[in-house]
């Protein structure tokens, strides 16, 4: 007979038992965050602005009312000075905007009283208004010269989807030829034609009617590429060849490129029967220095 004298006590061996230090590691409470960690976790308080705001815009100093900067809600200035974003200050305590301040006075004048800049500064102020997203100012500037005329010009250029690509080709060809010849200028041939069909003495009186009466197969007989470097056209608009030439020269000049051009004849390629191409060919001279 087996006599049970008491409950057996299990003694733990060093390999089976958990040390007191291990137990403490498993059950220790999270460490208290440091001051730095706590500061990072706390949200930044909204920035407070005075009623009269001193500004440093790219090194130029301005002073205006806070309500002026918040005149239109959907602008960048209104967002910057809403208190939701932090704006650094310079050594004198002025709020710093890292932007050229040359035309910022024109921006403030519009926000204050709706004044528009003089014509010679319209383009530059328009660029600044785009940066600050001031929609009402953009709308006003687009309705005066020279921007109003530019909208009309761009509508005409929109008829030629490869216009900008052709401008780039003119520049690249001229640069390559000047570098190859170690020359100060380069010349290239440019064809600018408004009408798609060739002109002959027989067609001139009835050109507008005849050009739509040809069948597709007959039209292909007149398709060809003039022996020029770049070709512009055709297009359907009142603006003529001289208008497009003016656009080409204007846009090249705006990029600092000196360009001269003159008509040197027409394409005399014989197509079929009495039809010849007769598209005008212009020589462009681009001077690099």
Q: Are 267 and 248 in contact (CB under 8 A)?
A: no
* Alpha carbon of residue 283 to chain centroid: 31
3-state secondary structure of 160: coil
Is residue 244 within 8 Å of 232, Cβ to Cβ?
A: yes
Please tell me whether residues 139 and 173 are part of one structural domain.
Answer: no
Q: Give the ranges where the chain is alpha helix by DSSP (H).
A: 20-27, 35-41, 66-69, 76-80, 104-113, 122-131, 135-142, 147-157, 163-181, 207-213, 216-220, 241-254
In a domain, 280, yes or no: yes
**87 in a structural domain:** yes
Do 188 and 249 belong to one domain?
A: yes
For residue 232, what are the β-bridge partners?
192
Residues 81 and 178 in one domain: no
Question: pLDDT of 25-56, one tens digit each?
Answer: 444 444 444 444 444 544 455 789 999 999 99
In a domain, 4, yes or no: no
In a domain, 257, yes or no: yes
Q: Two tokens at 275?
A: 């039809």
Within-domain flag for 218? no
Domain annotation covers residue 35: no
Kindly state whether residues 174 and 87 are assigned to the same domain: no
What confidence tens digit (pLDDT) does each residue in 195-253 have?
A: 765 555 444 444 444 444 555 555 555 567 788 999 998 898 899 999 999 999 999 99
Count up the domains in the chain and report the number: 2
Shared domain check, 109 and 77: yes
pLDDT by residue (tens digit) across 277-288?
888 999 999 999
| Domain with 234 in it | 158-198+224-287
Q: Are residues 138 and 234 in the same domain?
A: no
Are 101 and 170 in a shared domain? Answer: no
Which has the higher per-residue pLDDT, 1 or 62? 62
4 has pLDDT over 80: no
Query: Is there a single domain that holds both residue 100 and residue 179?
Result: no
The tens digit of pLDDT for each residue in 88-101 reads 999 999 999 999 99
CATH number, position 74: 3.30.710.10
In a domain, 44, yes or no: no
If you average pLDDT over every residue of the chain, what do you get? 81
CA dist., res. 253 & res. 247, Å (int): 10
Residue 170 and residue 242 in one domain:
yes
Residue 56's DSSP bridge partners are: 61, 96
- Asked if 169 and 230 count as a contact pair (C-beta separation under 8 A), the reply is yes
Shared domain check, 71 and 127: yes
Instruction: Report pTM.
Output: 0.65
Examine the domain organization and report whether 258 and 167 are in the same domain: yes
- Which of 116, 144, 172 terminates a domain? The answer is 144
Looking at residue 23, what is its pLDDT?
Answer: 43
**Is the distance from CB of 261 to CB of 245 less than 8 angstroms?**
yes
User: Do residues 169 and 278 both lie within one domain?
Assistant: yes
């Amino acid at each position: 007979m087996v006599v049970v004298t008491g409950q057996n006590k299990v003694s733990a061996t060093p390999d089976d038992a958990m040390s007191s230090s291990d137990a403490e590691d498993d059950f220790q409470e999270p460490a208290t965050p440091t001051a730095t960690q706590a500061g990072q976790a706390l949200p930044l308080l909204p920035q407070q602005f005075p009623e009269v705001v001193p500004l440093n815009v790219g090194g130029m100093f301005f002073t205006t009312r806070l309500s002026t900067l918040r005149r239109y809600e959907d602008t960048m200035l209104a967002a910057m000075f809403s208190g939701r974003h932090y704006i650094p200050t310079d050594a004198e305590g002025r709020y710093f905007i890292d932007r050229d301040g040359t035309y910022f006075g024109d921006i403030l004048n519009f926000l204050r009283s709706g004044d528009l800049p003089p014509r010679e500064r319209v383009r530059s102020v328009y660029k600044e208004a785009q940066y600050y997203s001031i929609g009402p100012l953009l709308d006003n500037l687009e309705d005066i010269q020279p921007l109003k005329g530019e909208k009309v010009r761009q509508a005409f250029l929109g008829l030629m989807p490869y216009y900008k690509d052709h401008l780039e080709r003119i520049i690249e060809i001229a640069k390559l030829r000047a570098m190859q010849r170690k020359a100060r200028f380069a010349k290239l041939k440019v064809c600018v034609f408004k009408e798609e069909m060739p002109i002959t003495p027989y067609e001139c009186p009835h050109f507008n009617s005849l050009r739509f009466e040809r069948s597709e197969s007959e039209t292909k007989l007149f398709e060809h590429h003039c022996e020029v470097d770049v070709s512009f056209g055709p297009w359907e608009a009142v603006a003529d060849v001289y208008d497009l030439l003016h656009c080409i020269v204007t846009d090249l000049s705006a990029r600092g490129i000196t360009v001269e051009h003159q008509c040197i004849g027409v394409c005399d390629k014989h197509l079929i029967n009495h039809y010849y191409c007769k598209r005008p060919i212009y020589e462009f001279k681009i001077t690099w220095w």
